[in-house]
Chains A and B, each alone.
Chain A
Amino acid sequence: MKDYSFYIFFAYGFAVVVIGSLVVRITLDYRDLKRKLARFEQQEKGR
């Protein structure tokens, strides 16, 4: 039987990269939006 480790490793590695990128991007976006909203509310209180 041939060795397919290279293809299997790359397929699962690519899946980890794609899913990991989605999770990181969405989480960072959420933090950024929360920070901006909090800053905005602070500014509005100060007005």
Chain B
Amino acid sequence: MLKYANPTHFLALAARLIPWLGGASALALAVGLYLTFFVAPDDYQQGASVKIMYVHVPAAWLGMMCYMVMTSAALGTLVWRHPLADAAQKAAAPLGAAFTLLCLVTGSLWGKPMWGTWWVWDARLTSELVLFLIYLGLIGLWRTIEEPSQAARAAAILTLVGVVNIPIIKFSVDWWNTLHQSASVFRLGGPAISGAMMWPLLVMALGFTLLFFTLHLMEVRNEILRRRLRRLSILAASAEDADLSAEAAQ
């Protein structure tokens, strides 16, 4: 396992895994979409608008899971100072931002016909918006600091500070009176939704999760190549400087 912490071995592993993971996520999403539109029944209250939940809920889960991946990588950066952990952190931020944005927009598109409004400053929606803003802040931080290891340490600290928002998102519907409904799948008393709706939701969630890991591997691979290119450019520039100094000395 440890040998894959070496960037060169990681690149070889990623090259083997990406096509399989990509294929598996495409298959799971295709089956999930079929189940969503042709098998899952409409809700007796929400009607067909419940179809939006099959993309909204997995996107919300992924937005939070991505943050937990980033938190683990942040610990890797701060504790072991491993370059692969830096790359994993950086690669996860845009993915997390994209899935959280998808969650917010699809939630809004469901909220308009069901609640009669695109947005309310409800605890769940607001904490989800805060998550999106944290992702944007992290992306900005990575772009602002040029030296990758310094950027990684700064981003890791911000990530660890921001992780407090994850339990707030999860339990906001229990701690406060919210317009957003409470948990219906992962709850103490077991799922509160019918199996006919839950299975398509779980298949879609599996497809989204596989897609996330595919994209994350691809992004980490890009980041390793970017760092390699940067290192080679610096080495070439120093070699050129040394040549010029030698010529000047002659």
Give the interface of A toward B (CB within 8 A). Answer: 1-5, 7-8, 10-12, 14-15, 18-19, 21-23, 26-27, 29-30, 33-34, 36-37, 40, 43-44
Contact = CB atoms under 8 A, between A and B. Distances in A.
B47 A11 contact: no
Given A3-B48, A14-B102, A37-B232, 6 more contacts: A8-B49, A8-B51, A30-B218, A33-B226, A33-B229, A37-B225
Contacts of A14: 102, 105-106, 109
Where chain B touches its partner, the secondary structure class is helix
Contacts of B112: 7
Interface of B: 42, 47-49, 51-52, 55-56, 59, 94-95, 98, 101-102, 105-106, 109-110, 112-113, 211, 215, 218-219, 221-222, 225-226, 228-229, 232-233, 236
A29 B225 CA distance: 10
Contacts of A4: 47-49, 51, 113
Contact of A37 (B51, B98, B229): B229
Contact of B215 (A5, A10, A23, A43): A23
A17 to B, nearest CB: 9
